[in-house]
Amino acid sequence: MWFSSLRRAGWNCAYALPLRVRKPLALALAGYTPLSKRHWYATRLLEDFARRQPENFQRLIWSHHLGRAAEYERAHGLLSGQLSASRMLLARDLMAVLESRKLSPKRVLDAGCADGHFLRHLELSLSLQNATWLGVDIDARALRAGERRLAAAGSQIRLRRGDLCHMSDWIGEQAFDLVLCAGVLRFFNAEHAAGIVARLLRHTLQLLALSGPAHRQCDNASLKGSEIGADCSYIHNLDAMVEYAGGQVLWRRWQPAGRTDGQSLYFVFAAPGFGN
């Protein structure tokens, strides 16, 4: 009892510190102290920041491999040796769309690839001849770990650091037959997410595959605007973003209740429009 009161008082004192002090403190705690394995300390220290500025908070944690970023790598990365049920389903849907459209991509981009685990799954299961695989992410630590593990496994996948908010820094004139962006757009507000969808579509030759959290009460396609979920990430209408950018939705899945590892599922597969 007295311990929990003491702890609450401790957190209240911590929240009294200005954000410009708490941000470096959170990074230091997570990076250089015995607490570094317990990233929730760092993110809890920034709870109010997460609620007030979800996009900036998400950028901070993913670019510093904090909190959810570290947990994600442990639970779903290459080392875990298993793809989450939701990504298994995404891969299955993707294969079905490729087959039904008779598409055989040669150049594949995964935008927001983490350590490249989903690309690796596709590299092994799609068996595309002479394909090139590129993964881009903002999380340098996940990329370094991924590069080591992919090289040891003899993979052809290349990983590089890149920010989806500054695509011109790394994408140049490149075009890809297949572009994946799974579980990433939720970390951007509606305007930025729509901009990224438009930009990715411009560099897509055959198929763009997007995924994000499903709205629990209504189909995302009927949302008039984006909403912020309990985990301080965004729930978007990706169908509308694709159409606004001139793309065409070919296939979609909206599955709000957690049949698959407790996650809601919302996938949108799109082709670039004529204007692209």
Candidates 135-143, 197-205, 223-231, 253-261 — which segment interacts with ligand SAM by CB under 6 A?
135-143
Nearer to ligand SAM, 66 or 242 (CB): 66
Per the CB < 8 A criterion, the answer to whether 225 and 254 are in contact is no
- Tokens 């340098």: give the residue: 140
269 binds ligand SAM per the rule CB under 6 A: no
137 lies in the binding site for ligand SAM (CB under 6 A): yes
Provide the minimum distance between the beta carbon of 177 and ligand SAM in the complex, in angstroms, as a whole number.
18
- In angstroms, give the least distance from the CB of 184 to ligand SAM: 4
| Smallest separation, CB 147 to ligand SAM (Å) | 14
Could you give the 3-state DSSP secondary structure of residue 189? coil
| Chosen residue from 87, 120, 203, 215 binding ligand SAM by CB under 6 A | 87
Q: For residue 22, give the nearest of 41, 3, 4 by alpha carbon.
A: 41
For 172, the 3-state DSSP assignment is coil
Q: Could you give the dihedral angle defined by the CA atoms of residues 38, 39, 42 and 48, in that order, rounded to the nearest 10 degrees?
A: -120
- Burial of residue 7 (number of CB atoms within 10 Å: 0-12, 13-18, 19+): exposed
Cβ proximity of 119 and 157 under 8 Å? yes
Site for ligand SAM in 159-198 (CB under 6 A): 163-165, 182-184, 187
Sole binder of ligand SAM in the list 55, 123, 139, 177 (CB under 6 A): 139
To ligand SAM, the closest distance from the beta carbon of 11 in angstroms equals 27
Residue 72 binds ligand SAM (CB under 6 A) = yes
Q: Please report which residue ranges of 226-271 form alpha helices under DSSP H.
A: 238-244
CB nearer to ligand SAM: pick between 15 and 195? 195
Residues 97-116 that bind ligand SAM (CB under 6 A): 112-114
Distance, in Å, from the CA atom of 250 to the CA atom of 247, rounded to the nearest integer, reads: 9
Residue type for position 148: R
Binding residues vs ligand SAM (CB under 6 A): 62, 69, 72, 76, 87, 112-114, 118, 137-139, 142, 163-165, 182-184, 187
